[in-house]
Amino acid sequence: MVAETERLFATEELGGRAVYRVHAATVLAGICLVLYYRATHVPGSAGSCRAATAAWVGMLAAELWFAFYWLLTQSVRWCPVRRRAFTDRLAARYGERLPCVDIFVCTADPQSEPPSLVMATILSLMAYNYPPENLNVYLSDDGCSILTFYALWETATFAKQWLPFCRRYNIEPSSPAAYFTLPDRPNDPQALEEWSFVKGLYQEMTERIDSAVRSGEVPEQIRVNHKGFSEWNMGCTSKDHQPIVQILIDGKDRGAIDSEGNVLPTLVYMAREKRPQYHHNFKAGAMNALIRVSSVISNSPIIMNVDCDMYSNNNNSIREALCFFLDEEMGDKIAFVQYPQNYNNMTKNNIYGNSFNVLNQVELRGTDSWGGPMYLGTGCFHRREALCGRSFNKDYKEDWNRGIKTQHHIDQTEGKAKSLATCTYEHNTQWGLEIGLKYGCAVEDNITGLAIHCRGWESVYNNPPRPAFIGVGPTTMAQTILQHKRWSEGMFSIFLSKCCPFFFAHGKTRLPHQMAYCIYGLWAPNSLPMLYYVVIPSLGLLKGTLFFPEIMSPWVIPFICVLVVKNIYSLYEALFSGDTLKGWWNGQRMWMIRRITSYLYGFIDNIRMLLGLSKMGFVVSPKVSGEDESKRYEQEIMEFGTSSPEYVIIATVALLNLVCLVGGLGQFLVSGQNMLLNGFSLQIFLCGLLVIINIPIYEAMFLRKDRGRIPFSVTLTSVGFVMLALVVPIF
Ligand SMILES: O=c1ccn([C@@H]2O[C@H](COP(=O)(O)OP(=O)(O)O[C@H]3O[C@H](CO)[C@@H](O)[C@H](O)[C@H]3O)[C@@H](O)[C@H]2O)c(=O)[nH]1
Ligand SMILES: [Mn+2]
């Protein structure tokens, strides 16, 4: 037993749980009453009313679903915990005798992921406050681009200036791109001189890289400088090429030193073999190739991975992660330490709802108390053994000293590594099934983390005050919808597969942990009740079909209670997590839009996959956007522009609600009824709320003139659909 004051990390419960649970009990009571009302007030099924009965039962079904889903979301709110790592205690115990760490960065396409952006990430990772001889950075290039290789070659040279500079001035963030855009510069004249010098070098390098990318080729006089360039002599394309592994810096080589004579971290470029006839399994395939390639170069016990746009923003992240792995009490049980995803390009009011504040501050902490957060695909430190399929066993002791410490023949090592990165290497092996990241799922991270949890391991969520990683989030509607489509589709496919958390994990993890996984796994089917709820009651308002109790009836109370209490809490949670009031409101809008577009598509695609009609894909999110687009993004103006079918759904729902509200109120006006105090009060309220939340959509359809507006063709199509909905006598 280690005294609590000696532990390498602490776990605290988040406060306010008693209040939370009172709130949850209130909402639960409200939900039960709502469902009871629905079940006992079904309108008579005589003749003409049959359609109304069916519509009512539909409401009941939607509300049952929402109730079930709400229950799931309680799992991540019941008892969130906060972790704190004590790097000073780690230092006192181990000094600089720390385990080797392999860092994996994945990139896939030099167009949507500019090499200069990727290089800033690589430099930030090389500059960790960590013994460089124990640090190995690997770049996987699924685009197999000579431009990316060239950029990495430039980076290997620039690192010799950048790393000592970072060390001397304790630079944070250690990404040069992020650091040099900070407004403040050093005061001390000598420091300022050095700052300008390094900044100049960095800008020149970036310029060289960017111009190579623009021209699409690497100048001949540069290509002669490194043998690696010759790999591209045989005319390889991104989809058809031999395996390439190039060790650009061999940290074990005494000659590999920076401008001050310090050892450099190892730096490796890898493009696994690709052939048109073999499936490459996207990022999971790249990660697995990296696991094998690194096993003959460094073979560190810890593997960290980040997406190519996620630079390190906190120099101590490795040491903090080690506080968990090396903790004497709990360390042996931990398979991975997950950091949150943070973005640096979010607008103040979070127009597309892409800054995951509530997820990061509440939900992941809540999952942590049940066995650990899911693996998020980036910003994660893994125990190599656990990632490679080992089950938890309390007698297993990790060898933290493992790793390849001397490299004799670099050419031999590269040759060996290449043979591990071929297309056929994995055939008839357990790779992608039991070993490494799992294949066949658009969210390889989620399913891999689940498998690790089911093998008995736990994970830990660490969210230090200074964010550990910062990346680039989607900045347009199309990108947002696309990303969420991939996620919802992937996670729902896990739910439908034999890996469904409720069955696969049954008996292996706790029920609330399975529920937490299912919150995300069931994003996709949320689309149907949502679509129902934003269309049917509004239509009912126009056509005179009642769906809610009258305002004077006591049954109104549970409806209002659920609506109000739940939303006040959600607002509180958002504000507590760092959103603004408007950000919360925008988040509500996006939550609706994602459900009726991305999640609907994710749902339909799963059905198609079950029927064998479509295959899983992985469309890389672009990390750059046009100037015009960026300007609108900064002004928080929603970007549409193209005429995609998703926009037709959004426009149709918005327009339909407007028509129903105007039409419904118009009828009351004509018939002389009280506008608000009649049987339809709640329907008017719901429909009105939808109209208010959709104001930016109406603007994009009718008022805006810029190129990001909703195209006329989309508006026209949606008008057609609305007319259809009005004409068809549904009830
Ligand atoms: O065939 C591929 C496709 C993607 N990637 C890389 O995977 C990373 C993530 O791709 P991105 O398009 O940025 O997806 P996001 O939606 O931002 O990614 C989130 O969701 C993914 C699962 O859907 C996870 O893999 C990611 O780690 C997680 O950040 C990037 O570095 C890509 O270069 C590859 O290496 N090979
Ligand atoms: Mn990304």
CA of 356, nearest ligand number: 1
Cβ of 308 less than 6 Å from ligand 1:
yes
Q: Residue 44: its pLDDT value, please? A: 77
Cβ of 345 less than 6 Å from ligand 1:
no
Catalytic residues: 142, 445
Cβ of 548 less than 6 Å from ligand 1:
no
Instruction: Quickly list DSSP for 473-510.
Output: ---SHHHHHHHHHHHHHHHHHHHHSTT-HHHHTBTTB-
| H-assigned helices in 130-233 | 146-169, 176-179, 189-215, 220-223
Dist. CA 29 → ligand 1 center (Å): 41
pLDDT in tens, 389-407: 999 999 999 999 999 988 7
Cβ of 369 less than 6 Å from ligand 1:
no
For ligand 1, atom 19, the nearest C-alpha belongs to 377
For ligand 1, atom 28, the nearest C-alpha belongs to 377
Dist. CA 284 → ligand 1 center (Å): 9
Instruction: Quickly list DSSP for 541-589.
Output: HHHT---S--TTSTTHHHHHHHHHHHHHHHHHHHHHTT--HHHHHHHHH
Instruction: State whether residue 416 is helix, strand or coil.
Output: helix
With CA atoms as reference, report the closest residue to 312 among 164, 137, 142.
137
Flag whether pLDDT at 676 surpasses 70. no
Neighbours of 162 (CB within 10 A): 26
pLDDT in tens, 703-727: 999 999 999 999 999 999 999 999 9
Mean pLDDT of the chain: 95
Alpha-carbon distances of 501 from 494, 513, 519, rounded to whole Å: 8, 9, 11
Distance between CA atoms of residues 587 and 400, nearest Å: 44
CA of 106, nearest ligand number: 1
Q: Report the nearest atom of ligand 1 relative to the CA of 308.
A: 31
How many residues in the chain? Answer: 731
The pTM of this model reads 0.96
pLDDT in tens, 489-508: 999 999 999 999 999 999 99
Q: Residue 46: its pLDDT value, please? A: 59
Neighbours of 64 (CB within 10 A): 16
Identify which of 307, 311, 354, 380 to mutate to test ligand 1's pocket (most ligand atoms within 8 A of the CB): 307
pLDDT in tens, 346-361: 999 999 999 999 999 9
Neighbours of 617 (CB within 10 A): 10
Distance between CA atoms of residues 583 and 580, nearest Å: 5
Flag whether pLDDT at 436 surpasses 70. yes
pLDDT in tens, 551-598: 999 999 999 999 999 999 999 999 999 999 999 999 999 999 999 999
Q: Report the nearest atom of ligand 1 relative to the CA of 282.
A: 1
Cβ of 282 less than 6 Å from ligand 1:
yes
The confidence band for 47, taking pLDDT boundaries of 50, 70 and 90, is low
Burial label for 727, CB within 10 Å (0-12, 13-18, 19+), is exposed
For ligand 1, atom 5, the nearest C-alpha belongs to 283
142 belongs to an annotated ligand binding site: yes
Cβ of 111 less than 6 Å from ligand 1:
no
Lowest mean pLDDT among 161-170, 425-434, 610-619, 681-690: 610-619
Domains plus CATH for the chain?
Answer: 13-74+509-727 (no CATH), 96-341+376-473 (3.90.550.10)
CA of 489, nearest ligand number: 1
Query: What token pair was written down for 596?
Result: 């009726």
113 belongs to an annotated ligand binding site: yes
pLDDT in tens, 293-342: 999 999 999 999 999 999 999 999 999 999 999 999 999 999 999 999 99
